[in-house]
Structure formats: C-alpha cells, structure tokens
Structure 1
C-alpha cells in the first residue's frame, strides 16, 4: 500500500499563514522561528508547533499514562487548523481566572 505524500512547506511560512488565519477569527498570535521549527504563540498554554508538514498543539493531560495529549493538523490546511485551534483557545479562555481581588489593591509603584 502506498501512503499519501504529505506536502512540506517552510515552517515559518506555514506558521505565518496560520497566524493570518487565526487573525481572521479575531485571535492575535505571535510567530517565532528557529532550528527548523516555527511556533505560534496563541494563549497561555496554547502554543502551536510547525515543522512545515504538520501543526500540533497540546490539548490536555492523560493522568493514567502521565503524558501530554496533542492534536495535529496538516500544515497544508491552515484554515481548518485555525478553526480547531480557535476552539481550543475558547476552552482555555473559559477556564482562565482573572486576577483576584486580593491583588487588585496593590500598586506597581516602588515604595
């Protein structure tokens, strides 16, 4: 059986295309490139890795196996990947707790 060939793109270009697709959904992100990989920093706990062939990001933790769970998507389909990442982004935003009131009265000014 012949396996389908994956389209390999420049990791940085793939990451920039994903960043642009996320921006269309109103999600700001940053691209970082180096060592043959590119990272798209989306939110606290949501970093998308790209090697030019695949995009992958952390989606959870398997306590039984003590391992991280990842989702992945072909880099050649950044629009659909962006939709999936946007869903994860929404989950993480919903879990985010703003600064509590005990910190609200503190000043950043030096004494």
Structure 2
C-alpha cells in the first residue's frame, strides 16, 4: 500500500494511509477509498449494478502499483469534478 501511495504522490495525489487487522486503507477523496488485503487493491468505480443495485468495485493485483495508481487517478479526476472541496477546506489549504 505504501508503494501505491508513493505512485499516487508521483501523480500529484495525496492520500492518508491507515492499517490494522490485516487490511490497509488509503483515503484519497470523497467516495474514493482504496483497500487492500495484501493481494489486491479494491475501490468503488462509481457505478451501481443494475442487477443487484449495489456498488461495483474495481479490483487490481498489488503486483503493479503504478498501473493501479493511474487507474485510481482517473477516478480521482472524475470525483474532483463532481465533488469539489468544501469552502472551509479550500480556505484551510490556501
């Protein structure tokens, strides 16, 4: 997960890393949390299954964190457009 976080950093994306109980979570943006069990990365791709009505998740092997980071960056870009920072958070960042 640290490698994925570093790859996201190379793309200009910061994320908070949390771990425990055999899982690691990388909080990237609103509705974008990546989690890993050490074998794969998973995150919500933004779609709802028409069959089940549940969120559909994207799954990537942990073997190529650079490719995974590029895919997450696409979702991040979409979410930044649809879920901008609140005014309060923008003021804290300026």
Q: Structure 1: 5+ residue runs without aligned partners? A: 1-14, 105-111
Partner residue in 1 for 2:83: 96
Q: Which runs of 4 or more aligned residues in structure 1 lie more than 2 Å from their structure 2 counterparts after TM superposition?
A: none
Cross-structure match for 1:31: 17
> Larger radius of gyration, structure 1 or 2?
1
TM, length-normalised to structure 2: 0.84
Which residues in structure 2 correspond to 1:38-53 (within 5 Å)? 38-53=24-39
Higher strand share: 2
> Alpha-carbon deviations, 1:2-42, whole Å to 9, x = none?
xxxxxxxxxxxxx1110000000000001100110000000
Is the counterpart of residue 71 in structure 1 residue 29 in structure 2? Answer: no
Q: So what's the TM-score if we normalise by structure 1?
A: 0.72
